[in-house]
Chain A
Amino acid sequence: MKVGVVTFPGSLDDVDARRAVTIAGGEAVALWHGDHGLRDVDAVVLPGGFSYGDYLRCGAIARFAPVMTEVVEAAKSGMPVLGICNGFQILCESHLLPGALIRNDHRKFVCRDQPLRIESTSTAWTSRYDEGAVVTLVLKNGEGGYVADDATLDRLEGDGRVVARYLGGNPNGSLRDIAGISNERGNVVGLMPHPEHAAEGLCGPGTDGLPFFTSVLQALTAA
């Protein structure tokens, strides 16, 4: 199964994301922001970093990169898409996910091993977790505060679309401690913490992030 990872100018975590796909047993395919076409991949990861220098708003310019035309189209027709950190911001700017991410309420960049609870296992990216599983992933962001209006937040919670929530204190001011959400269909997931940095024992806080990648491979194999 081929999982594409898009590199934008300013992406930082594309290599780690490709590595995590490989460790999970998939074939990682590098995608370039300036190309049209997805090279026959079965799923796409939008990695973390500072695409286009975070100019204007995080993800605002990346959203209009040539490759995003195909990513948005594919996401709407059901292809699994995971946006991590800057990728989450891009998914919100693309309106594939509701809400937006704003500057951390405490105004500092945060970089830490962050405990989370996986609250939805019915997405393409989290099916291999046990519901309610407590995991530790790296969190590193300056603009990770998730915001949306109350009606949207209620709908997300009511529909079980809050994928992960921060535990042990809110690290960035995200409303209702939200760390990740999905679209209605569950194929598109946005997540502020970095599962790709927790995919092998040698570095990072463990391997708690690996199931994001094994989940999607399983979902694709089953499809």
Chain B
Amino acid sequence: MARVVVDVMLKPEILDPQGKAVHGALSRLGFDGVVDVRQGKRFELELEGDVTEERLAEVRKAAETLLSNPVIEDYTVRVDQQ
């Protein structure tokens, strides 16, 4: 089995109210020096067998179709070396 990780983040120009809330909470708790917080999503896909280029292409397609909304989000796909 192999694990592929898909990270999804709001595009830089899209407002992230959740990130702002977390940032505010960090400041209140005394975690100083944090200039900004953006909150994203991490998906861990467990795949059957080995990771092939073909497989990764499928994962990218899934990331583009369902896991992210390309209008507001960017994604990255990487193989998790366990």
Contact = CB atoms under 8 A, between A and B. Distances in A.
B17 interface: yes
By secondary structure, the A interface counts as loop
B45 to A, nearest CB: 14
B70 to A, nearest CB: 10
Interface string B1-31: 0000000001001110110110000000000
Contact of B17 (A57, A92, A105): A105
B18 A103 contact: yes
Contacts, number: 36
B66 interface: yes
B66 A102 contact: no
A223 B13 CA distance: 43
Contact of A99 (B10, B17, B20, B71): B71
B17 A100 contact: no
Contacts of B69: 57, 60, 93, 100
A173 B15 CA distance: 9
Interface string A48-85: 00000000110011001000000000000000000000
Nearest to B67: A56
B72 interface: yes
Contacts of A64: 66
Contact of A107 (B13, B21, B71): B21
B72 A104 contact: no
B20 A102 contact: no
A102 B15 contact: yes
A106 to B, nearest CB: 8
A145 B72 contact: no
Interface in A109-165: 145, 147-149
A198 to B, nearest CB: 28
B17 A107 contact: yes
A116 to B, nearest CB: 22
Interface in B16-60: 17-18, 20-21
A60 B69 CA distance: 8
A60 B66 contact: yes
9 contacts: A56-B66, A57-B69, A100-B71, A102-B15, A102-B72, A103-B18, A105-B17, A147-B14, A173-B15
Interface of A: 56-57, 60-61, 64, 92-93, 98-100, 102-107, 145, 147-149, 173
